[in-house]
Amino acid sequence: MVMALDEREVDAYSSLVGTFRGRRVGVLGDLVADGYVYGVPVRLSREAPVMILKHEREEFFPGGAANTVSNLLALGSGVVVFGMVGSDAAGQRIVEHLEGMGADVSGIVVSAGWRTIAKSRILAGDYHTKKQQVLRIDQEPGRGPTAEERAGFEERVKEALDRVDAWVVSDYGYQIATGPGVIGLVQAEAARGKVVVADSRYRVRDFRRITLVTPNEMELFGAYGIEQLPVEGASDDLVVETGRRLLEDLGSRGVLVTRGNRGMMLFEPDREPVSIPISGTSDIVDVSGAGDTVVSAATLALAGRSSLVAAARLSNVAAGVKVMKRGTVPVTASELLTAARNLVLNGGGPGKN
């Protein structure tokens, strides 16, 4: 089953996307340098039973919270970035890249004692074939932020509160965005009426009383220690039971659970869960960064005063565009609207735009 839109819904989304350009979103979280190294296999090594790749090219993408920044910018909004990088080449590259895209990077803390999070993917394949990932090398800080680093980070957030219309927390588990001071700040912003959306890999239950959280199925179940699942995946009943539990525990306006090729499920207080089928095709190229695309589109839609259902459906269309792209690359406003129109014209979704 594929999600369908009608003309009225597409017209509403066209007007809504027009409001994105006037928004200014603060992004708090873990900034990641995503690297892709492409090579052509030429022979086996004499030194070890491994293949030797002839270097072909390299690509860099801003990942983690930085990918959320890229998506928000591509959708037309302004962005203020809050995160931490090391005084190393990867950190410098992230800052320069985001600044070059038009983001306000004044909220980024540069620490000589912090190692920038970096993920290098090695892809192999012949010249005219699709490259496959054969190895990933991760560089990590190896520690959480110090009290001094955390205080400096929180001070930059406080200084920007009046300059930001909505907030995204993009937590990949490196403790930048999960300190009690930061969580308290975004909770206070939500209490003031600002949109606050959190995408947290391991600590979604910490983000109480905000607008929306967007866990995937595994993050949802992990929050309650549910590990044993059938090979074919979780049942709808288990998703409903656990999603309702999370919504009640958080006291938020909504919980949006992303379910891969089974779409999404939205939970709101005093309403039945809404199941949203996938947008486009299940012939997926790359899911990396799709969660960042979802949270970006949903945040801007909610900041434009859309309903949670409308924001979820629009973010589902955006996700359908993203998964047809290789790498952590953003979805633009024009791609989003074209995909939405295609769902009316032919029901085929955004897959081959």
**Amino acid, single-letter form, for residue 300:** L
Active site annotation includes 34: no
Closest CA to 271 of 294, 248, 239, 301: 248
The pLDDT, as a whole number, for residue 353 is: 36
pLDDT at 347 (0 to 100): 52
Residues contacting residue 219 through CB under 8 Å, at least 6 positions apart:
200, 201, 202, 204
Cα–Cα nearest to 292, from 19, 74, 45, 55: 74
Q: Say how far residue 130 (Cα) sits from the centre of its chain.
A: 25
Q: What is the per-residue pLDDT for 345?
A: 66
| CATH homologous superfamily of 7-30+67-116+144-345 | Ribokinase (3.40.1190.20)
pLDDT < 50 stretches in the chain = 348-353
Active-site option among 104, 171, 199, 292: 292
Domain range annotation of the chain: 7-30+67-116+144-345
What is the pLDDT at residue 151?
Answer: 94
Secondary structure class of 95 (helix, strand, coil): helix
As a whole number of angstroms, the distance between CA 113 and CA 275 comes to: 45
- Residue appearing with tokens 């909004």: 77
Residue that is written with structure tokens 């205080």 in the block: 151
Tally the residues of the chain. Answer: 353
Query: What is the model's pLDDT at position 148?
Result: 95
CA pair distance 327, 131, nearest whole angstrom: 12
- Residue pair 33/60 in contact (Cβ under 8 Å)? The answer is yes
